[in-house]
Amino acid sequence: MVARHPVPTRSTTPDSAPRSDPGSFRDPANRVFHAGRQVLRGLGPQAAEDWRALAGAGFFDRLLAEGKVCGTEAVDDPAALPAGQAGPWTTVLRHERIPFVSYPYEWSFAMLRDAALLHLEILRAAVPAGFTTKDGSAYNLQWRGAEPTFIDIGSFEPARDGEPWAGYRQFCQTLLYPLLLQAHLGLDFQPWLRSRIDGIEAGELRRLFGGTRRFRAGVLKHVHLHHAIQSRSAGSSTGTVRTQLKEAGFSRELVLATLRALDKLVRRLDWQPPPSHWSGYRETCTYSDADREAKERFVAEALAEGDRSRLVLDLGANDGTYSRLAARHADYVVAVESDPAVVDQLYRKLRADGERRVLPLVMDLADPSPGGGWRGVERAPFAARAEADAVLALAVVHHLAIGRNVPLPEIVDWLVGFLPAAGAGGRLVVEFVHPDDPMALRLLANKPAGLFSDYRREEFERLLGQRCEIVRRRELPSGTRTLYLGTPRG
């Protein structure tokens, strides 16, 4: 059911033959394809009929106009898609392209909560108009910067009287339960979702909410009672359960009441992160005002050169200072930071500012998101999605090389690997923190003496020069950090 829109490889052209999205196979009634930079959806006969009804519904027009669902239009020629892969397709839709695809295990708490609230808002608009959604997955949502949008147009279908919302279980597993986990227990939900494509099961969550914990907001009803009902109905078919609910008088008003209660619960959930080293980094780092001004000037000049970037990666973005700076010179910026608290703070600020060109993500750069799901391709790895025109790697190399023992040659290869081939305008802005810098000394103090004998500016510059033409270098006024602007070699 869930459609995901990965960034195409650079070899694609506008007239490329359509290729199916490996993550959209779960609903046989429709499937997403990519043709160059176009995102297309093929609809079977029943899905096409549902689309025609949806396209004429006033609530859907409002959601489109407000940007709460992704831009969608019908394509005149159904032959735009190949028949036979999972078709035949009687209708083809063209969708707005999402600037960068991300997954729920890369979002912060506030991001996941806002995604859940949007999902509920869409349903609360759809149900009175006689529509529902087939599922309730967090993967049905994506981002335009700090603004969520619903992408799975194929999930809408006419509601059947007397039936509950079919997506409730998925909503709990991929949205509500992760929020309960972090709001009530202070546990980061990202590792749980990364390891479970279908989310957290009620049965496993209830074991964490025993005793008085079961009385925390939302737990008794949506975890313990939900698990009990699932266990009791395990031997019954879906059709039997639907018949029983219809005979019991289950109504559209009860669905709306459930959605309102879920909305109220999700709005109550919050997470106040404990203080961390990175949340106060700007106050505790060793940059002088002169260093900071020189660094910002170097980054701005590097990004202003040449053509405007389509996508900039800010790796180790911290509070997003340089991501915001990059957004002045790029169509879109992905700000990656490992600390969930820092990303959450950044997201809340970006959302308050209405920023739609900076997407903050939670990710450990030494352990980036792998491929997952069916055959390991249903969810694309970060490296496959993150093909950038420019990369910022500011104050991150020493953390990987010393803090995580990643060899310098591999770090350089990894950074350059995000960029296009030589001559395509790619730019790498990287900062090397010298071994005598206070931050590097702090990391080295926890390592055996002599372990990082090759961690030297001369060696880093040699390695960078092998992969890039070094266009410019600048030593910061402190004398312990050097900035480089490089362009990939052939």
Say yes or no to pLDDT of 277 above 70. Answer: no
Is 210 in the same domain as 288? no
Per-residue pLDDT, 3: 39
Among 268, 290, 313, residue at a domain's last position: 268
DSSP 8-state assignment for residue 129: G
- Contact predicate 28/8, CB 8 Å: no
Is 261 in the same domain as 288? no
Q: Look at residue 64 and tell me if it is in a domain.
A: no
Is 440 in the same domain as 326? yes
The model's pTM is 0.92
443-458 mean pLDDT: 92
Is 219 in the same domain as 285? no
* Local confidence band at 279 (pLDDT 50, 70, 90 cut-offs): low
Q: Look at residue 48 and tell me if it is in a domain.
A: no
Q: Look at residue 128 and tell me if it is in a domain.
A: no
68-103 confidence digits (pLDDT tens): 999 999 987 766 775 555 457 889 999 999 999 999
Q: Look at residue 419 and tell me if it is in a domain.
A: yes
Mind giving me the DSSP string for 309-346?
A: EEEEEEET-TTSHHHHHHHTTEEEEEEEES-HHHHHHH
Mind giving me the DSSP string for 195-235?
A: H-TT---HHHHHTTS-GGGGGSTTHIIIIIIHHHHHHHTTT
Is 375 in the same domain as 400? yes
Is 463 in the same domain as 418? yes
Q: What is the mean pLDDT of the chain?
A: 90
H or E stretch covering 261: helix 252-268
CA distances from 421 to 387, 398, 425, 427, 489 (A): 11, 26, 8, 11, 7
Among 268, 303, 335, residue at a domain's last position: 268
Among 224, 248, 268, residue at a domain's last position: 268
Is 255 in the same domain as 311? no
Is 253 in the same domain as 285? no
Is 264 in the same domain as 283? no
Q: Look at residue 51 and tell me if it is in a domain.
A: no
Is 225 in the same domain as 341? no
Burial pattern 335-347, b for ≥16 Cβ within 10 A else e, equals bbbbbbbbbbbbb
105-137 confidence digits (pLDDT tens): 999 999 999 999 999 999 999 999 999 999 999
Per-residue pLDDT, 237: 54
- Contact predicate 331/310, CB 8 Å: yes
- Contact predicate 34/40, CB 8 Å: yes
Query: What CATH number is given to the structural domain containing 295?
Result: 3.40.50.150
> What is the percent of the chain with per-residue pLDDT over 70, rounded to a whole number?
89
Q: Look at residue 55 and tell me if it is in a domain.
A: no
Domain residues for the domain of 258 are: 140-268
350-357 mean pLDDT: 96
8-67 confidence digits (pLDDT tens): 334 334 446 788 899 988 898 999 999 888 999 999 999 999 999 999 999 999 999 999
Is 258 in the same domain as 394? no
Is 458 in the same domain as 366? yes
Q: Look at residue 78 and tell me if it is in a domain.
A: no
Q: Look at residue 305 and tell me if it is in a domain.
A: yes
Number of domains in the chain: 2
